[in-house]
Structure 1
Amino acid sequence: MIRRVLIACCFSASLVGFAQLKQIQKKLASMPETEQTALWLCDTALVICTHNPILTQHTAKLALKKADEWNISGLVPAKAHHVLGVSYDARQLPELAIKHYLIALEKYDEMDVKKDIAIIKANMGRAFDDMGHTENAMNYMKESLRISRYQNDSINLDKSIFHLAAGFGKLNLIDSALHFYQECIQVRRAFEDATGIAHVLNNIAELYLSNSEISAEHAQIALIHLKESLTLLKEGDNNNLLATIYANMGKSQLLLGRPTEAERLLKNGLLLADENDFDQVKEQIFGKLSELYNQRGDYKKALEYYGKEILLYKKQRNIEVAKQVDRLTMQYETVRQEKQFAELQRQRALEVGVRNLFFISIVCVILLAIILLFYARQKRKNDEIISQLRLQSLADQINAKNKEISSYTVSFLQKNQLMEELKSQINELKKSADMSTNKELTRINRIVDHNFRSDEEWKTFQLTFDQMHDDFFKS
């Protein structure tokens, strides 16, 4: 049920914020595109942060967008991210707040704007503290404090000292916490901030009361600080703080063994807390009243207040769970919107990339066609040159073969003619020769006949002729 109410409230706030954003955009349209206009957007966003952090977020993003469109760098983007961090802080989204604080811090560092750097670091310290990262919170608070002292920035100095003291208290470094609380009191006295001093004194008292080894002396010191803080508060100043002081005074009196005075103070605190619905203070008081009546032996009342404490604890837990669910829902929605924006940017970049790729592809196809056409023409020219060279080579080969054939033919004819003449001469000699000489001439004649019939030259001639005339003799 609580979750539905919270979601309905957020939805209503979103509608109102949307209408206000339209008004801001309408006014922006009539303003010049200058750095002053962008800074006006940032200042407007910061002013409306207390009652509508979602509208602050949209306005700061609008300032970032305009700074990008108008080509404005430096202070405007830094301040816009700073305001975005504050808006996320107000919506209890410390992780997202730190993300924008870091961007703002980087830009402020580039410009060396010390005062804004100190404020950013203080804000980051509080954001880390909300996340439970006390040591990180302390480091940023110390840096903020150092810069604020150097710049003599009293307002940020006061905030840094107070949160640094609270951080030391959480780390159970009591002496360091007390040192910075005392310094904070001095700063607030200079501002004549009585309520602020009362707040610090109450925190000092809680330091003593939260000590695990608390003694009567600690309880007495805490009571002294609480009485001093009570004198600084006027009626109606800060009822929540006043109820807390009464509750802590009752706790101190109980530790000092003064149950009657403790009961009176606890009931005074309960009356204030009940009138103003300070459930957290009421829960603390119910616990102490239950402890008080248990010590007295009045177990019925002790059980009654214990039951009330448990009921409030459960109620507080339900509210915390509902807030946590709402915080996670807002965080999820914020992250989802950022992812959608990033996806939209990615799609636009992809569309531009595809369009560019299309044009590049067309250019590449045209270039490839030109290259292929040039290659085809060049190949055709090369083929023609190669064909001419081949034809020339074949013609040269044919001429060489023809010369070879002619040489073989002439040689063959000359040989045959010589053999015919030689044979004719031998036959003439045989007619007038004696028997032994005739026999010898016959043997020589046979040798001549044998060489005359040899077909080696003929085979060579056939082979050469076939090469020139497509296997003429083989066919």
Structure 2
Amino acid sequence: MVKSVVALLILFILAYNAHPQEKELQVFSEQQSKNPVESLVDLKIIYAKAIESNNAVLEGECLRQMGKVCYHQGHFSQGLDFFLKADKIFSNNNRSLSIAANLCDIGVLYYYIKQPDKAMKNYALALNIYKKQNDLKGQATVFGHIGQLYEKRQQYDSAFYYQNLALKVNESTKDVNGAAKIYENLGSIYEDLEKYDLAAQHFKKSLYLYQKSHNESGSIEVINNLGDILRKTGKYRESITETQHAMQLAERLGNIYQLASCCRDLGKAYELMNQMDSAYHYVKLGYKYTIDLYSEDGARQVAFLQVLYDINKKSDEISKLQNDRKVNRIIAFSATIVVLLTVVLGFVMFSRQRFKLRDQQMLAKQKDIEHDLTSLALKNLKLEEQNLKQQLEVKSRELSTHTLNLIKNNQFLEKLRNTLQAMVKDDKRDQKKQMNQMLTEINQSFNHERNWKEFTLAFEQVHHQFLEQLKKFSNELTSADMRLIALLKMNLDSADISTLLGISTDSLRVSRYRLRKKLNLTQGDNLSAFIQAL
């Protein structure tokens, strides 16, 4: 996504071939930023030059691209601020297509922060502009986003309608990457509907187009999806082959996130084949990749925040410099008037004007002091925000560690319990009393209260006051209900939740049904979606 940001910006620059910084921007195009921090640094340089050369349209495009980098890194507030500034510049310069693209990006941002109504409003405004300008590629992009919005709402008929509209436009414009993404979206919808044959067909079409356009990042995710389909249809060996292929691509690209995802999928497949050694190996490897991902992401976020701070600081300095220039022009103009008045009116008028000039200088100094104090307060606020985010990342890692330990412990106990139950059924009656005692101890350890207390403490530190807020919807929630809700909030699958709670999937289904009743959810409301939205 970061690379596409750079490419879009360069195309924009080439379209407005009339500014002195074009040579530097061509070099920027050749470098093709490798990560968000590098991309933001390069955009900052172009942004400063755009301001210096008074190129308002390029300045707006830089703000838009910086907004995209920010929301992809989870800095939604800063991203929205960049988008709104870009919208103001585009509107002042009557850049209709730039306004539409910016509105579409704002819609995606609202989609990420789970505000679908605002997302749909911005998509509709963008689509209206694209239709007026007869921009087919822009229309296809908006159709795809609207389709995703309906898919998340589980309104699959509308999702199919808009995705097919996008596919039709992409095929007519021969946009290979765009068509590949739509086929992938359609495959995901069919997978949600458990129509696995159709899902596999669309994923294969998507993979063919991604490979045709040499898009390896897109190919990894689609291959992983094909592995999921094979696993869900009981074709475990074929599933492992596909996932291992995706893992090889991820290793070559150094994509730690996809490596962790592949390891989790391989662990599930081997567990379903009852090959516990292999399952344990990949679960452990996936845990290692997850820890590496957290460490790498933490360092990248620190660097990203520093660059973001530098951009805001630079913007403040530029604004201050522009204001100083205005003040200097005013002072120079006033001085000229003073000289003329001195010649005409003499010494008395000159003295009065000199006092006036002194007052203006004192006022300017006072404003400088106030500005310095404001800048210092802003810097302290940024540092405090950075510290809080680092603490949240540490707590998130602790929560993940507790969860993984609980899963591993309960999986081991479950396996041991099944083995002992099989031994109890044996005819050697002299062993039954001892083994029954062992089974009782194992059952007691499934819901070890200390582990759950540690898990609950870590969960509440990450999700502030979530459990207290949830109690507003019902006063009948038990401690078991709160544990189930916490696991659903972490977006764990049913198998892991059953293992953590030490119950069967049927019992879990009953627990979910009872929880829906306590929360007064209607038949059409999704329990997991309701909890995630809180």
Amino acid at match of 1:200: I
CA distance in 2, matches of 1:346, 1:112: 26
Closer/same/farther in 2, CA of residues 365 and 63 from structure 1, 3 Å limit: closer
Residue of structure 1 in register with 2:416 after alignment: none
Closer/same/farther in 2, CA of residues 45 and 97 from structure 1, 3 Å limit: farther
Which one of 224, 227, 249 corresponds to residue 201 of structure 2? 224
Q: Report Cα offsets for 1:118-170 as digits up to 9, x if no partner.
A: 22322333455566655444432221122112211122223322333334444
Q: Is the 8 A contact 2:63 2:82 kept in 1?
A: yes
1:155 partnered with 2:137 = yes
Residue of structure 2 in register with 1:24 after alignment: none
Residue of structure 1 in register with 2:68 after alignment: 89
CA distance in 2, matches of 1:138, 1:58: 33
Q: Is the 8 A contact 2:60 2:89 kept in 1?
A: no
Q: Is the 8 A contact 1:244 1:269 kept in 2?
A: yes
Which one of 125, 128, 135 corresponds to residue 143 of structure 1? 125
TM-score (norm 1): 0.56
Q: Is the 8 A contact 2:110 2:116 kept in 1?
A: yes
Closer/same/farther in 2, CA of residues 115 and 300 from structure 1, 3 Å limit: same
Closer/same/farther in 2, CA of residues 347 and 230 from structure 1, 3 Å limit: closer
Q: Is the 8 A contact 2:64 2:83 kept in 1?
A: yes
Question: CA offset at residue 100 of structure 1?
Answer: 4.5
Q: Report the identity percentage.
A: 16
Matches within 5 A, 1:137-286: 137-209=119-191, 211=192, 215=194, 218-234=195-211, 237-286=214-263
Residue of structure 2 in register with 1:57 after alignment: 44
Closer/same/farther in 2, CA of residues 40 and 265 from structure 1, 3 Å limit: same
Structure 1 unpaired stretches of 5+? 1-35, 68-75, 368-475
Mean Cα deviation higher: 109-118 or 276-285: 109-118
Q: Report Cα offsets for 1:304-363 as digits up to 9, x if no partner.
A: 111111111112222222222222111222222333444556667778899979x89941
Closer/same/farther in 2, CA of residues 315 and 101 from structure 1, 3 Å limit: same
1:299 partnered with 2:288 = no
Closer/same/farther in 2, CA of residues 130 and 341 from structure 1, 3 Å limit: farther
Amino acid at match of 1:221: L
Q: Is the 8 A contact 1:45 1:57 kept in 2?
A: no
Residue of structure 2 in register with 1:77 after alignment: 56
Amino acid at match of 1:363: R
Closer/same/farther in 2, CA of residues 60 and 343 from structure 1, 3 Å limit: closer
What is the SS of the residue equivalent to 1:40?
coil
Structure 2 unpaired stretches of 5+? 1-15, 34-38, 339-348, 357-534
Residue of structure 2 in register with 1:333 after alignment: 310
Closer/same/farther in 2, CA of residues 330 and 59 from structure 1, 3 Å limit: closer
CA distance in 2, matches of 1:125, 1:200: 18
CA distance in 1, matches of 2:132, 2:102: 16
Question: CA offset at residue 244 of structure 1?
Answer: 2.0
CA distance in 2, matches of 1:252, 1:366: 82
Question: CA offset at residue 262 of structure 1?
Answer: 1.7
RMSD of aligned C-alpha atoms?
A: 3.7
Residue of structure 1 in register with 2:103 after alignment: 121
CA distance in 2, matches of 1:306, 1:115: 47
Question: CA offset at residue 79 of structure 1?
Answer: 4.0
Q: Is the 8 A contact 1:56 1:87 kept in 2?
A: yes
Amino acid at match of 1:271: Q
CA distance in 1, matches of 2:112, 2:304: 13
CA distance in 1, matches of 2:84, 2:154: 28
Question: CA offset at residue 225 of structure 1?
Answer: 1.4
Mean Cα deviation higher: 280-289 or 123-132: 123-132
1:321 partnered with 2:326 = no
Question: CA offset at residue 186 of structure 1?
Answer: 0.9
Structure number with greater Rg is 1
Q: How many residues align?
A: 317
Q: Is the 8 A contact 1:266 1:289 kept in 2?
A: yes
Closer/same/farther in 2, CA of residues 205 and 44 from structure 1, 3 Å limit: farther
CA distance in 1, matches of 2:312, 2:250: 38
CA distance in 1, matches of 2:355, 2:294: 71
CA distance in 2, matches of 1:42, 1:145: 33
Question: CA offset at residue 290 of structure 1?
Answer: 0.9
Mean Cα deviation higher: 343-352 or 50-59: 343-352
Residue of structure 1 in register with 2:513 after alignment: none
TM-score (norm 2): 0.51
Q: Report Cα offsets for 1:49-90 as digits up to 9, x if no partner.
A: 6546534434444333443xxxxxxxx424422333324534
What is the SS of the residue equivalent to 2:234?
coil
Question: CA offset at residue 220 of structure 1?
Answer: 2.8
Residue of structure 1 in register with 2:352 after alignment: 363
Mean Cα deviation higher: 111-120 or 88-97: 88-97
CA distance in 2, matches of 1:42, 1:159: 30
What is the SS of the residue equivalent to 1:225?
helix
Closer/same/farther in 2, CA of residues 286 and 339 from structure 1, 3 Å limit: same
Closer/same/farther in 2, CA of residues 208 and 236 from structure 1, 3 Å limit: same
CA distance in 2, matches of 1:241, 1:342: 41
CA distance in 1, matches of 2:351, 2:64: 47
Closer/same/farther in 2, CA of residues 192 and 248 from structure 1, 3 Å limit: same
Q: Report Cα offsets for 1:226-263 as digits up to 9, x if no partner.
A: 23334445478223322322211111111112222222
